[in-house]
Amino acid sequence: MALPVSASDAAQEPNGNNGGKDIVSTTENYVTAFYPIWFTHFQTQVLPVPANEFIGPEKISPVYQAVVAINDDTLYASTPIDVRGHEVVVDVPATSAGYSVLLLDAWGNVHPVGIPSKGANVPTPDTTYSLIGPGYTGPITGEVTVPLPMDQMILIFRVDKYSGGMNMTTEATTFRHDLAIDGVGTAVKPVAEFGAPVKTLADLLIRTAPIDFLTQLQTAVASDWTPALTQQEAKLSDDFDALFGDGMGLTASERQQFADGAKSAHDAIINNYLDNRGATNWTHFTNIGLWKKKVLDRASITEFCQYCNTKETAAYYHAFYDGSGAALTGSRPDGYVLTFPPGATPEASRFWSLTAYTPDAIQPIPNPIDKYLVASYTEGLQTNADGSISIYISRTQPDGVATANWLPVGDREFNLMLRVYGVVPKSNIAKDKYIPPAIMPR
C-alpha cells in the first residue's frame, strides 16, 4: 500500500506522483487524502444543513448520528458559514455561561477565530462580529471585524451546561437561543432531524458499494465548498479522475481494483486510530485539527472524532480495549471500573467527562435512565475512602454503587471517550504526558 501504512510524515502526504497507472494505490491515496471531504460535503450539501443559520438539537440522545461522537455535556449551535460577496453578522449575547468557539474548514483543520471563547462568570458585553471573506470590500456593520481565511467554513459554539460545579443549563439555554446570525437566533430542532447516520453510511458504502462511494467522493472534491487543492492534492485528484472517469463503463477487473483500493484505505484509516494506543490502551492524538501533512491521521480522526478541538481547548482519550487489551463488551455481567487515583482526576479548567458509545456510529448508547456520561460536575458523584473516584461501566447498576458513579452500556461491544475541556497550560495534559488509568474488568 503506497500511502497510509507508515507513521512518518512523508508517508502520510497526499501522493500525486504515481503517474495515474496503478488503480489500487491511486485509490488508496485518494480515499485517504480526501476522506474528510466526503463527510463535510454530505453534511453541508446533501442533507443539507442551511448556511448562515445556527441550529442545534433540543437534546442529545442515541438518535443523534449527524456528527461522529456527539456528547451531552454542552449545548450545540453550529452552522456552515458562507461569506461569498457579503458579510455575515454574528451576535454573541452577554451571558454568565461558559462556551467555546470552533472555526474549521471542510478538511476539519482548526483555524483561529476572532470570536473569543469564554469561561463561566466572566462578564462580557453583547457583541456583534462581522465575518468577512478574503478580498471583501463591502460595508461592515458589526462592532468587531473577523476576517476568515476562506469564504466557506464551519462555525461551532459549545455552551457548558455546568461550570465550576454549578448547573448553568438555564443560562446556557438562553445564550444558545439568543445567539444569532443576521438577526436570526439559533433554531433548536428535534433530535430526530439530526438522525442521518453519516459515519455508518460512509462505512457501509465503502464496504458494499465502493464505486458509489468513490463517485460521491469525486463530487465532493469538485464542490466549491472544498478549499483550493494544493499542487499535490490536485495531481492526485487528476490521476484518480483519469483512471476512474465517471465510474461508468469500468471493466469488472477495474471495478474490483477500485473497490480493493477503497477498502484498503478504509482499513488503514480505522487501524491507524485503533492502534494509536498508549500504555493503558487509550487512543490519543495530539495533532487534532492541525495535521499538516499527516492525512492518514486526519482521516482517522474524521472517522472517530469529527469536529474535535485542538489540544489547547480540549483533550480526547478514546478506549476500545480494557487494560489487558481485550475489547470492551457489555456482555460481561459485572462490567468494568475506571478508577482515578487520589488527586489524579484529569486537570481541567472547565470539566472532564466520560461517555460510552456504540462501535458503529460512535453514538450514545440507549439505556433505561437516559444517562450518557459521568463527569466532574455530575451531581452526587462519590469519592472512595482513599480519595479516589471510581466509575462503573456495565449493563445494570452494580449493587452498592451510586447512580452518579454508574455509566450504563448495552450488551454488545462499546467504546469510551474521556474528554478534558479547558486544558490547563503546563499541565501533564498540555504537555502530552497524561495517561488515563486502565479500564479494568470487575
Looking up residue 143, the CATH number of its domain turns out to be 2.60.40.1610
Tell me the whole-structure pTM to 2 decimals.
0.94
* Position 44 pLDDT exceeds 90: yes
5: pLDDT confidence band, cut at 50, 70 and 90? Answer: very low
Count the neighbouring beta carbons within 10 Å of the beta carbon of residue 3.
Answer: 26
Across 281-293, average pLDDT: 96
Residue 442 CA, distance from chain mean position: 31
Nine-digit cell string for 204? 457501509
CA-to-CA distance for 17 and 205, rounded, in angstroms? Answer: 27
13: pLDDT confidence band, cut at 50, 70 and 90? Answer: low
Q: Which residue, 194, 215, 234, sits at the end of a domain?
A: 194
Same domain? 188 vs 63: yes
* Position 54 pLDDT exceeds 80: yes
Sign of the dihedral through C-alpha 232, 235, 240, 245: positive
Number of domains in the chain: 2
pLDDT tens digits for 124-161? 899 999 999 999 999 999 999 999 999 999 999 999 99
Q: Is 335 left (phi over 0), alpha (psi -120 to 50) or beta?
A: left
Mean of all residue pLDDT scores within the chain = 94
Residue 226 lies in a domain: no
pLDDT tens digits for 252-275? 999 999 999 999 999 999 999 999
Residue 402 lies in a domain: yes
Q: Which residue has the cell 469529527?
A: 306
Letter for the amino acid at 22?
D
Q: Which residue, 155, 171, 194, sits at the end of a domain?
A: 194
Count the neighbouring beta carbons within 10 Å of the beta carbon of residue 369.
Answer: 9
Q: For residue 151, what is the DSSP state?
A: S
Residue 102 lies in a domain: yes
Across 391-416, average pLDDT: 97
CA-to-CA distance for 114 and 375, rounded, in angstroms? Answer: 30
CA-to-CA distance for 438 and 102, rounded, in angstroms? Answer: 31
Residue 221 lies in a domain: no
Question: Contact at 8 Å (CB) between 150 and 133?
Answer: yes
CA-to-CA distance for 2 and 205, rounded, in angstroms? Answer: 23
pLDDT tens digits for 350-384? 999 999 999 999 999 999 999 999 999 999 999 99
Number of H-type helices and E-type strands within the chain: 7, 22
How distant, in Å, are the alpha carbons of 247, 260, 338 from that of 280? 44, 34, 11
Count the neighbouring beta carbons within 10 Å of the beta carbon of residue 303.
Answer: 22
Across 100-120, average pLDDT: 95
Across 172-192, average pLDDT: 98
Letter for the amino acid at 28?
E
CA-to-CA distance for 195 and 366, rounded, in angstroms? Answer: 14
Residue 76 lies in a domain: yes
Residue 374 lies in a domain: yes
CA-to-CA distance for 134 and 152, rounded, in angstroms? Answer: 11
CA-to-CA distance for 159 and 171, rounded, in angstroms? Answer: 9
Across 45-64, average pLDDT: 95
Question: Contact at 8 Å (CB) between 120 and 98?
Answer: yes
Question: Contact at 8 Å (CB) between 385 and 363?
Answer: no
Count the neighbouring beta carbons within 10 Å of the beta carbon of residue 150.
Answer: 16
CA-to-CA distance for 406 and 118, rounded, in angstroms? Answer: 31
Sign of the dihedral through C-alpha 104, 110, 112, 117: positive
Residue 78 CA, distance from chain mean position: 13
Looking up residue 349, the CATH number of its domain turns out to be 2.60.120.600
CA-to-CA distance for 295 and 396, rounded, in angstroms? Answer: 41
Residue 78 lies in a domain: yes
Question: Contact at 8 Å (CB) between 247 and 237?
Answer: no
Q: Which residue, 194, 214, 238, sits at the end of a domain?
A: 194
Q: Determine the structural domain holding residue 425 and report its residue range.
A: 311-441
Per the model's pLDDT, the better-predicted residue between 7 and 242 turns out to be 242
Nine-digit cell string for 200? 455508518
Count the neighbouring beta carbons within 10 Å of the beta carbon of residue 227.
Answer: 17
Residue 239 lies in a domain: no
What lies within 8 Å, CB to CB, of 55 at 6+ separation is 49, 77, 78, 79, 186, 187, 188, 189
CA-to-CA distance for 174 and 161, rounded, in angstroms? Answer: 11
Same domain? 59 vs 189: yes
Across 50-70, average pLDDT: 96
